[in-house]
Structure 1
Amino acid sequence: MDYFHLSEDKQDILNMSSLGLAYLGDAVYEVMVRSWLCLRGKLTPGALHRSALDYVAAPRQAALLEKLLPVLRPEETQVFKRGRNANPHSHPRGATRREYQVATGLEALFGWLYLRGETGRLNELFEMMMEGED
């Protein structure tokens, strides 16, 4: 199996838990953020780490997601809402419950797109989110 170029059965992906999709999507999103930061300039490892933490934190994810809502396809919106409405038992101290739910929805969407092999769409959405970020 090629874990970098997945294209899983649509029904199998739909049967996955939203929190499972979010778990995977969290990693996909973090790799994209780290790549974006590394390609943007020469930061020290400490500065890269601090910047990455800022972008992967739930409040920042929730704010960046607002850029995507108008362009999500119906099926993507459904996956996002399913992830957002999942019921995690806790949330981090640095985020409101709402921010954490929105971030979970975003991560579920990224996990879902990754498992479907839709890397082009992942890149497109990520670029929209990061537009204007410095």
Structure 2
Amino acid sequence: MENYFHPELSRDHILEISSIGLAHMGDAVFELLVRAWLCAHGGATGRGMHRAAVGLVCAESQAEKAERIKPLLTEDEKAVFRRGRNAQVHTVPHHASRAQYGEATALEALLGWLYLQGETERINELFCIMMEGEERHGH
């Protein structure tokens, strides 16, 4: 039986997935991490937790978090990030600039790529850096 919590895809198979496909996966990975982070940091419940999650996963917030980790990326990670940023997205949320949305899509593509390779420790390392200081901002 397949284990979709830990998919085993070849490197070639993962490279065949479009940037939008990787970003779709990475969006879910980031959402799950943010929800776990909110539970671990307590305080928010119900609608408050939902509002806090939305504030952390929006394109503007993701773009800011991407800036924190870009200097730490490996060459392969930078290539996936660039590929994600250059993905052809046709709609941009009203509250985000095209540049912010591109950075958010790039971050999500990177997280999707890492997840599909089973690189959960690397994802966690990058996520912890992204979330540094968030407690002070009331999230």
Bucket of the pairwise TM-score, normalised by the shorter protein: over 0.9
Match of 1:55 in 2: 56
Alpha-carbon separation, structure 2, partners of 1:79 and 1:72: 10
The two structures have a TM-score, normalised by structure 1, of 0.98
Q: Deviations over 1:39-71 (max 9, x none)?
A: 101322111000000010000000111110110
In the alignment, the residues of structure 1 paired with residue 8 and residue 128 of structure 2 have an alpha-carbon distance, to the nearest angstrom, of 22
User: 5+ unaligned residues in a row in structure 1: which ranges?
Assistant: none
Cα distance in structure 2, aligned partners of 1:96 and 1:110 = 21
Structure 2 partner of 1:2: 3
Corresponding letter in the other structure for 2:26: G
C-alpha separation between the residues in 2 aligned to 1:131 and 1:7?
31
2:125 aligns to what? 124
Output the CA distance in 2 between the equivalents of 1:128 and 1:8: 27
Large movers: runs of 4+ above 3 Å: none
Gaps of 5+ in 2: none
Partner of 1:87: 88
Let me know the Cα RMSD of the aligned residues.
Answer: 0.7
- Please report how far the alpha carbon of residue 115 of structure 1 lies from its aligned counterpart in structure 2 after TM superposition: 0.3
TM-score (norm 2): 0.94
The percentage of counterpart residues that share the same residue type is 51
What pairs up with 1:106-117 in 2 under 5 angstroms?
A: 106-117=107-118
- Partners of 2:48 and 2:110 lie apart in 1 by 28
Q: Deviations over 1:91-123 (max 9, x none)?
A: 000100000000000000000001000000010
C-alpha distance in 2 between matches for 1:117 and 1:2: 12
Partner of 1:97: 98
- Partner secondary structure for residue 67 of structure 1: helix
**Deviation at residue 5 of structure 1 after TM alignment:** 1.5
Mapped partners of 1:89, 1:42: distance in 2: 37
Which residue of structure 2 lines up, in the alignment, with residue 65 of structure 1?
A: 66
What residue is the counterpart of 1:40 in the other structure?
A: 41
Residues of 1 paired with 2:134 and 2:52: CA distance?
Answer: 11
